[in-house]
Structure 1
Amino acid sequence: MINVLYAATSPTWEEYEAPLRRAFDAAGLPVTLSRDIAPEQVDYIVYAPKSDLTDFTPYTNTKAVLNLWAGVEGIVGNQTLTQPLCRMVDHGLERGMIEWVTGHTLRHHLDIDYFLARQSGSWEPFVPPLAQDRPVTVLGLGELGRACAVTLSQLGFPVTGWSRTQKQIDGLTCLSGPDGLEQALSTAQILILLLPLTAETTDLLDSTRLAQLPKGACILNPGRGPLIVDAALIAALDSGQIARATLDVFRQEPLPPEHPFWAHPQVTVCPHIASETRASTAAEVIAENIRRGEAGEDLLFRVDRTRGY
């Protein structure tokens, strides 16, 4: 029998219990799934960073901690966590992110906000450029960044992708390193942030880098709030350097009512909805990783502690 501890408060046990049991049954795994298992008897931990579990020291026989979220910055630095850690990448999460990014990219590309603001009986034709004439840059070419970048490329946008390490992806211009970042920013009429949050990416988009974007660029951030320096973005919006920003993630969530993003006419605030982990598809990933662990195979989406993701 394989003992699996559900150690997450959000998402809830009620949301995940049945999908996990179905996924384990479909994979032929003899699993005891519970929220209450003696630490020394736990084989795998299903986890989310808001869990009450913070000390992994007693879990001496645990083979892996399986995160339900794509982001692991809330756990990767935990010094008591010596077991393998896997982040969540699943079909539902990927499709949700593709749809959010594509929808808001097209919204800014077609300047739909322009027409929404001018429903006053005044006939003011505006013809946007074709996608082929609207360069897009995606910062971050992990599973989600790559999927979004490829989708936008297939719609006809010239897409540049930047990552810390060099990638090769058909249909994209792939850059890396500090010089590559400056080049990637210099052409980005629409900039999409899908980087993980690490010491190197925190405050990445500061006043200097915002100034490297083409004047009038639009920014989408469905990645991590601290990638952007808030005050620098507001200053760039006020000066006209940045035309609009659609933000789904923030340094503090929920975003406080007094935060200037709420009242800024060029900012769209989304309540961290760009993509959610879906219980049905996430459960399948959890089950597959447990199957792999029991078979002695490599785990999916194992976190590199030295890189932070």
Structure 2
Amino acid sequence: METAFEIPNPRKSWVVYSEIHEGGEGRYYKLDLENGTRLRFTLFIPNQFVAKGFLPGIVLMGPEITHRGTPPDYIETVEDLGISVIAGIYPNEPKYEGFTPSTYSLLVDVDSTVNATGTYYVVVHEPMQGGRFGMALGYEESFTLEEWILVPFSVMLIYQWEGQSLAIIIAPMLIIVFSGLLILLRRRNTVLDLQSAPFLMASLAALLFIGSSGSLFFQMIYVLVQTNLTSEALITVFFAAIPLLLGISVLKQIEEPNWAKNRATRIKLILLGAIALFFWAGLILGPILLITSVMVTFLLDRG
């Protein structure tokens, strides 16, 4: 139990993505809870592991926990703690998660209130084989500024946990960015010099925004072919539409004659860059490029 991963804030909603390497192995998590605190967690697995027969379960230990079932011999237990063995059950159909977007099979869903103050242990295990699992804990949705801005990179790690390759994950964005740059450069016949730098940076930023949108729509379609269409798809559409609109807006602004010398336009572009940063458009690089392009126009004015 000394190696159990400690959950620092059991109230805060967050997700652990991990793996059981082989059958007869447990992953241990430790939570310190006070009497009357809500205990909330779910256990899920990527859909492809359902076909492999991977079916992990939970052993919950803690003070005043009602004894239910007998844990496997390979699970380390703590004397004087109550033990509840919770079997994983395959759902009738996979669940669609619109925020990411992703799909998974929910196996265990626990929502209860503890009756004693103390240390509780949640053990994820599978007797026969290894596989990947996720465990969502807590119930209070909150993000630090850093966590919010870095969400797109966290999501990419989730896709890799699901089994997607990095090449597939970034392919939609790369296709949109490179295709868009070729089209824009041919239309404007832009000379690659210092004066064209703001336009090129702003164009690349806009295409990164649109690429973010394309990636989300691609993931939504990729997921929906594995599960049924649900209302949560509207959440994905909302978060995918914002980067698309931001990218189109930037392209319209920089297509205007003398946009680089127009004070109002430059202020609009800075605002669009700030909005893009908080709506995960352009993988941070896009907003930085857009704001930098405006800064370059000011420097060129002085030069």
TM-score by length of 2: 0.22
- Larger fraction in strand: 2
Computing the radius of gyration from Cα coordinates, the structure with the larger value is 2
TM-score by length of 1: 0.22
The structure whose RCO (Cα within 8 Å, separation 6+) is larger is 2
